[in-house]
Structure 1
Amino acid sequence: MPLKLYKRGKVWWISGTVHGQKVRETTGSNDKEVAEAIRIKKEAGLVSDHVYGPKATRDFSDAVTSYIEAGGERRYIGTPHSGLLGHFYSTPLKDIQQNDLDEAARTLYMTALPETRNRQCYTPFIAVWNHAVKNGWADMRLWSRPKKAKGTNVVRIAKRRAGTFPVDYEHAAKFIAAMSPGPAMLMTTLFYTGMRPIEIFALEAQEVNIAGRWITLTKTKTGEPRGIPIHEFIAPILESLLKRNSLAEDPRLFRTPKGEPYETIVTDEEGKGGGGLKTAINGARRRSGIKDIAPYTGRHSCSTGLVVAGVHPHIKDQILGHAADDMSRHYTNVPQAPLVDAINKLPVPEAWRALPWLDDPLAWSGKFAEGMGRRTDLDRKRREG
């Protein structure tokens, strides 16, 4: 039967079967004309797939959409009118060659250094391409990346960006103490799991197993699920947040002080990009005077902390999601004692343990830090203590 539209709440959905391919998905739009255009494109794509095969019909926008839906990182992808997505939008995957990628890098980043083009163009493009390969939409290719120019002995001293290097946990504790409790809980979890910000924003209640000290991520940068051990220090934080009443409506665990879930676009490695976490980071920098901490600092610090603690590189890589063979993916939902033991080797400074909101994280999650206007709950708690 051909695909049909039906309304579910305020949004139009597509349902039907085309050449044996069953479809039931949202158009993401409440505009019927837009939804109809999406339905027509979807049906045409299924017919083309049946006749010619997906490798002959899928374009870059299809690959990006699937990549993002699988949990891929949006950073540097762009929009239908800008960036990588805008440049390659309707270009069939089969028609994109190395010279096309090189031309995109030159066009999008005309004055950028090779390492910048690599990070902001080649890396996200290859991530999308590899996802398309996994879907059977493209062939595996070995893409060439830009190299630094040779023939010079001039050393360029670049300023290190916050979020691109680790910090000491004692130093981090001072920064966290200057944050409002809600964002502080999120940042604390980043430091003691090594998760990426995009992963923690999407973390849902059902993915957290307190008894097993285990998190099963289903939405990751690579699109592959992975398991993460829970440090004993953050277990009570997660356990408290799991009692949030609104999880039935939206299962995402972490919220802003206003009670709103964090969106995946709120930050990058420098804390830029808008949203509640950007505000929390900038506020903590202003109050603490510490400028070298951003959301990604937690991941880098966790990695370094595990090395310093003598954790085997293979165990460290499993925790951070770097070692993912078919066998480890198969058991991502099973708590693994060696990983739990390893994560517990990360240090917990007394200054971190002494934070007042640790007594009842959920009750404190909607309060604000000193300097946030009339609500100075943290300052009052300190004076009473």
Structure 2
Amino acid sequence: MLKLVRRHGSPYWYLRGTVRGISVDESTKIAIRERRLAEEYKTTREKDLLEESIHGKRVTALFSQAALSYIENGGCKSYRLADILAHFGTTKLSKIGAEEIHAGAKTLFPGMQPASRRTHYYTPMSAILSHAVALDWCNKVTFEWPATNDGVIRWLTKEEAHRFIDQGRHIKPLLMFLFYTGARIGEAMGLQLQDLDLKRRHVQFIDTKNGTDRGVPLHPLVVDALYEMLSARRLNGGDVFRRVDGAEYPKDTRPSDRIKTVFKRAGKRAGIEKFRIHDTRHTWATWHYQKNRDLGALQRLGGWKTLDMVMRYAHTNVDELSDTIDRL
């Protein structure tokens, strides 16, 4: 069975021992002064482990265990999990369904906009639960995500985009890259030097949001901007896009957060308001469709999973149909 032990330097009680062959050496996160509470925790943990030994992990696995396993196995470390863990941490995965997930969203982020709630709540919840399903710790939970109100696509003309880029200061090369490749901000900020081939005018995005790799040809303007930036910095490897002092951005922050201030200021100086970082991708897709009218090529280059996700750019770009209206 288990016993409470002290570990040198730790303010918490630890559990050590075995229950029906299951070894345990873990922190209770309960302070040394709370011996009675730690004893109660030990009793509960022994009961759960006994149940697990009989019925398997599906019955006893906690959300906090799934979250820890997700992070330890390469999951996204930039998710803000503190509030979610505080709410679901000690809840068994078997007790978390669609109703509990939606209730958690309302409790934790009652006033948050749908798009932000998707980013900060539904995306990490989905990632952690999918990881738990892959481990066979729980059944798949199907739930609807809130709408993002993305019906209106915000995009810039070439003149507006270059006005924006010109005001980007040290992120000018990054802005040129975003506008002319359609890269997601996470793909751009995570781009490594070895995945960039300026001689071939080609960039490779590894392990993208959709879980696949994809290559994109580089526009001459992007090649020129990157040649100029890299010749000044003389990088030997690592991240392509960096801070103004040449150091890499911290990896524990969201990619969009790393440049949001300078991005917003560039828009203000350019006289362009309410333009989001992700709108650079909308802009690229709009330009591509206007010039090529090829949704299949746009889907492959942009890395969208389905053609339906690309159709909105065809629905937005109807200028070529203006003469049909004039004939009414």
Alignment equivalent of 1:204, drawn from 150, 168, 192: 192
Counterpart residue number, 1:190: 178
The answer as to 2:235 corresponding to 1:232 is no
CA distance in 2, matches of 1:227, 1:284: 29
Counterpart residue number, 1:259: 246
Q: How does 1:8-47 map to 2 (within 5 A)?
A: 40-41=25-26
1:308 Cα shift?
1.6
Query: What secondary structure sits across from 2:168 in the alignment?
Result: coil
Counterpart residue number, 1:300: 282
**Matched letter for residue 78 of structure 1:** R
Which structure has more relative contact order (CA 8 Å, sep 6+)? It is 1
Structure 1 residues 235 and 113: CA distance shift in structure 2, 3 A: closer
Deviations 1:68-124 (A, max 9, x none): 9746484xx4332x2x34322343433311221122022123355777755653344
Indicate if the aligned counterparts of 1:73 and 1:198 stay in contact, CA closer than 8 A. Answer: no
CA distance in 2, matches of 1:147, 1:216: 31
CA distance in 2, matches of 1:69, 1:164: 36
Indicate if the aligned counterparts of 1:204 and 1:253 stay in contact, CA closer than 8 A. Answer: yes
CA distance in 2, matches of 1:73, 1:312: 36
CA distance in 2, matches of 1:120, 1:242: 34
Alignment equivalent of 1:279, drawn from 235, 258, 261: 261
Deviations 1:287-344 (A, max 9, x none): 22222333212111122222222343232222222228xxxxxxxxxxxxxxxxxxxx
1:64 Cα shift?
4.2
Higher mean displacement: 102-111 or 135-144? 135-144
Indicate if the aligned counterparts of 2:97 and 2:141 stay in contact, CA closer than 8 A. Answer: no
CA distance in 1, matches of 2:305, 2:207: 17
Query: What secondary structure sits across from 1:216 in the alignment?
Result: strand
Counterpart residue number, 1:178: 167
CA distance in 1, matches of 2:191, 2:115: 31
RMSD of aligned residue pairs (Cα, Å) = 4.1
Query: What secondary structure sits across from 1:309 in the alignment?
Result: helix
- Normalised by the length of structure 1, the TM-score is 0.55
CA distance in 2, matches of 1:300, 1:201: 18
CA distance in 2, matches of 1:295, 1:147: 19
Higher mean displacement: 167-176 or 53-62? 53-62
Indicate if the aligned counterparts of 1:172 and 1:293 stay in contact, CA closer than 8 A. Answer: no
Query: What secondary structure sits across from 2:91 in the alignment?
Result: coil
Q: How does 1:92-131 map to 2 (within 5 A)?
A: 92-111=92-111, 120-131=120-131
Counterpart residue number, 1:168: 157
Query: What secondary structure sits across from 2:181 in the alignment?
Result: coil
CA distance in 1, matches of 2:248, 2:115: 34
Indicate if the aligned counterparts of 2:203 and 2:218 stay in contact, CA closer than 8 A. Answer: no
Unaligned runs of 5+ in 1: 1-30, 149-157, 325-385
> Which structure has the larger Rg?
2
1:176 Cα shift?
0.8
Query: What secondary structure sits across from 1:307 in the alignment?
Result: helix
Alignment equivalent of 1:312, drawn from 289, 294, 306: 294
Structure 1 residues 206 and 284: CA distance shift in structure 2, 3 A: same
Deviations 1:116-138 (A, max 9, x none): 75565334422443344345544
Indicate if the aligned counterparts of 1:132 and 1:138 stay in contact, CA closer than 8 A. Answer: yes
Counterpart residue number, 2:37: none
Counterpart residue number, 1:60: 63
1:58 Cα shift?
4.9
Number of paired residues? 263
Structure 1 residues 312 and 179: CA distance shift in structure 2, 3 A: same
Structure number with the higher helix fraction is 2
1:191 Cα shift?
1.1
1:139 Cα shift?
2.9
Counterpart residue number, 2:81: 79
Q: Percent identity?
A: 23
- Normalised by the length of structure 2, the TM-score is 0.63
Query: What secondary structure sits across from 2:292 in the alignment?
Result: coil
CA distance in 2, matches of 1:301, 1:95: 43
Query: What secondary structure sits across from 1:229 in the alignment?
Result: strand
**Matched letter for residue 155 of structure 2:** P
Query: What secondary structure sits across from 1:192 in the alignment?
Result: helix
CA distance in 2, matches of 1:172, 1:294: 12
Structure 1 residues 293 and 110: CA distance shift in structure 2, 3 A: closer
CA distance in 2, matches of 1:217, 1:237: 19
Structure 1 residues 64 and 208: CA distance shift in structure 2, 3 A: farther
Structure 1 residues 71 and 177: CA distance shift in structure 2, 3 A: farther
1:196 Cα shift?
1.5
